Every structure is written in structure tokens, then in C-alpha cells.
Amino acid sequence: MLDVARGTLNVRPPMAHPLEDLRTSAVAVIATATDEHALETLRVRYLGKSGSISAWGERMRTLSNEERPAVGKLLNEARSAVTLAIECAAAAFRSRGETASLANIDVSLPGTPAEIGALHPLTQMLDRTIAIFRRMGFALAEGPDIETEWYCFDALNTAPDHPARNEQDTFYLPDGRLLRTHTSTVQIRTMQSAPPPIRVIAPGAAYRRDEVDATHSAQFHQIEGLYVDQEVSVGDLKGTLEFFFRELLGAQTEIRFRPHFFPFTEPSFEVDVKSRALKGGEKWLELCGCGMVHPAVFEEVNGARGDDAYDPEKYSGFAFGVGMDRLAMILFDIPDIRLFAQNDLRFLRQFA
């Protein structure tokens, strides 16, 4: 339309549909909400069950087929625009809230340091030992700490009057069972449950009624080893233990076998080790008991199995027991065995 008087072209926009007005005003009102509560009231006003946009949904049904598509489109647009406006406003309130709570944090304060744990020196010792024997094909075996006299002594060819059985040396339970005095019990359990060949190590705790001092503890740790097959010799035993100690303490480590007595092995030895890697350097240190499995042990096992799987004429084997606490004390230069159990972080941290 030409407005000649003013000399300008006055194009009046076509009349907006009420839904467009509703959309425009709703978005504008939502933008003025000052908090989450006010926003929620507005959401109900427009989008709630009896809200004004929802009311248009009802009204759609009364429209003619011609009108419906266009109005439906406007309604969808209005609903999306209002929903989006509400979501944006809500997000803004949330982030404002977060900023406010962060404002109270003093980032210049020192943090709380996260404690980094470490393995106990005895565990480290055990892990190293196990890793070396695994490379030689030894599997892990285990047995219970509470044992019967048979597993701890009889089956291991220990005489009825042997002092180790004494109540002064061994912790007995009221029912006659006991806390194992060594891990050699696992030899018996392993042979009982499987026929030869056997090649196992058994790490675990052992208990003795010792007077507790810097080198004695009522609970200590051993690794037991057992190798049974045809034609196993003292040479195999010697080679195995030499390899173990050289891997653990260095290639220049010297090893000495001294004849000794254990009821369950014949011949029996104590093994002394000398290594420059250790403090106290040139001294021989006794670290291990070992020997060739006594035929009487095989016979006891056969009796319990009810077969002849461990025929001493056919099979031979070696066994050994290494004290883990003592080895760790020597390797890490620890002066007192009690430190292992006192949980003093000043001590434990040194091994982290």
C-alpha cells in the first residue's frame, strides 16, 4: 500500500497467528525468570497438562482439515521453542549454582595427598622366590595352617618322641590338632592328591612356640619345595637351589651343602650361602634345609592313598624348605623379625 502523504511504502505484516504470539511472549517471559522455582511455575503455565500450549493441542481437534496442518506446525514450533527456552534457563541456573559453590573453594590450599600403597617386604620376597621357581617349572601348592599330627609329623617320618612334637615347641589346639610347625606338611598333601611326577613349591606361614626376640617369631614364613620323578638325584637338588640363590642374590653367589639330619629326607643337608650382594658379605649364612625324600615318607603316602603310586624303588625326589623371613632380613638388611608384623609405616615405607 502506498502512503502517498508520507511518501513511504507502508507494508503491514500479515496478522500473526495467536500461537505465534503465544510463542513469542512465552519465550520472553521465560527469559525473565529469576530462579528455578519461578521457571518451574512457567513450565507448568505453558507446558503443564492444562497449560496454554497444551490447550492448543486440544483445540486442534476442532479445526477443519484444511487448517489443521498449518496450525499443527505452528503448535510444534511453539512447543519446541518454549521447551528449549526452559532448558536453557535451567542450565543457566545450574551453572550459576555451581560457580557459586566453587567460589568458596580456596585453590591455593595444599591438597590432600593420595597415599600410594606398596607390597610388604615379605610379600616382595615371596613374589621374587615364586617367580624364580616358576621359571623352573614348579607349580604352586598350598595346605592349611591348622594341621593334624599325622601331616605335620607322622607322615614325615618324625619319631613319636621327637622334640618338635613337644608342647613346649608346638601350639596344640584343644582337639589335638596343631598349628603347623613347617610347610613340609604340604609335601604330604600334594602327594596324597596326585601321582608322580610332582614339582611344586608351597609358600605359607608356620608356627612355633619360640621365645620371641629379634630373630624368632611365633609365626614365620617358609617356602617348601618338592620334586618327585624317576631318577631324581642330589645333583638335581643342588642345581635347582644353586640356580635359585644365584638368581636371587647374584651370579657370584657361592653355595655350600653341609650334611645335616631331617627325619623326612636322607641324605639331608643344610645350605649355606655367601654373597657379596649381602651385608656381612664374606660370611656363610645358613638359609635352607633340604634332602632326598626318605623312602619311609613315600610309604606313608602310599598307605594313605591306598596304592603304590610312590614306589620308592621306582621314584625318588628332593625336598627343601627356605625361611622367607630370614631371607628377607638378610636381603633387605632388616635387623629385627618383629618389624614385619608391627605395621610401622616408617619401616614399611622403605620398601615402597
Q: C-beta of 155: minimal distance to ligand DAH in Å?
A: 13
> CB under 8 Å to 346, separation ≥6 — which residues?
none
- Smallest distance from the beta carbon of 164 to ligand DAH, in angstroms? 9
Task: Report, in Å, the least distance between residue 344 CB and ligand DAH.
Answer: 28
Q: Which of 273, 280, 243 is nearest to 256 (CA)?
A: 273
Q: What would the grid cell of residue 72 be?
A: 499443527
Q: Beta-carbon neighbour count of residue 311 at 10 Å?
A: 13
Q: Of the candidates 143, 203, 263, 321, which one interacts with ligand DAH according to CB under 6 A?
A: 321
Helix (H) or strand (E) holding 267: strand 265-274
Give the shortest CB-291-to-ligand DAH separation in angstroms.
4
Any idea how long the chain is? 352
CB of 36 closer than 8 Å to CB of 93: yes
Judged by CB under 6 A, which of 89, 152, 241, 290 binds ligand DAH? Answer: 290
Of 87-95, 246-254, 304-312, 316-324, the window that binds ligand DAH (rule: CB under 6 A) is 316-324
> Footprint of ligand DAH on residues 202-241 (CB under 6 A)?
224
User: Quick one: which segment of 63-71, 213-221, 289-297, 325-333 binds ligand DAH (CB under 6 A)?
Assistant: 289-297
Among 121, 196, 203, 291, binds ligand DAH (CB under 6 A): 291
* Per-residue contact string for residues 52-71; x = within reach of ligand DAH by CB under 6 A: --------------------
Residue 217 or 265 with smaller CB distance to ligand DAH: 265
CA-CA distance, 96 to 229, in Å (whole number)? 76
Contacts of 210 (CB under 8 A, 6+ apart): 216, 217, 218
Sequence-separated contacts (24+) of 123-129 with Cβ below 8 Å: 124/328, 124/351, 125/324, 125/327, 125/328, 125/331, 125/332, 126/203, 126/221, 126/223, 126/324, 128/248, 129/201, 129/203, 129/223, 129/244, 129/248, 129/322, 129/324, 129/327
Q: How many residues bind ligand DAH (CB under 6 A)?
A: 11
Q: Does 265 bind ligand DAH (CB under 6 A)?
A: yes
Nearest approach in angstroms of CB 212 to ligand DAH is: 17
Q: Read off φ and ψ for residue 278, nearest 5 degrees.
A: -100, 150
Per CB under 6 A, the list member of 182, 189, 221, 326 interacting with ligand DAH is 182
Rule CB under 6 A: is residue 151 a binding residue for ligand DAH? no
Stretch that binds ligand DAH, among 17-25, 88-96, 287-295, 296-304 (CB under 6 A): 287-295
* DSSP of 287-329: EEEEEEEPHHHHHHHHHHHTS-TT-TTT-EEEEEEEEHHHHHH
Cα–Cα distance list, 193 to 70, 161, 181, 307 (Å): 85, 28, 21, 12
- Quick one: which of 121, 203, 289, 317 contacts ligand DAH (CB under 6 A)? 289
* Binder among 42, 122, 152, 319 for ligand DAH (CB under 6 A): 319
Minimum distance from residue 224 beta carbon to ligand DAH (Å): 6
**Is residue 46 a contact point for ligand DAH (CB under 6 A)?**
no
Pick between residue 121 and residue 289 the one whose CB is nearest to ligand DAH: 289
Residue of 77, 71, 45 lying closest to 58 (CA atoms): 71
Of these, 157, 158, 170, 184, which contacts ligand DAH (CB under 6 A)? Answer: 184
By CB under 6 A, name the one of 153, 262, 310, 315 that touches ligand DAH: 262
Closest CA to 82 of 39, 119, 117, 130: 39
Residue 82: CB atoms within 10 A of its CB come to 24
DSSP 16: P
| Min dist. Cβ of residue 115 to ligand DAH (A) | 36
Least distance to ligand DAH from the beta carbon of 320, Å?
5
Query: Residues interacting with ligand DAH, by CB under 6 A?
Result: 182, 184, 224, 262, 265, 289-291, 319-321
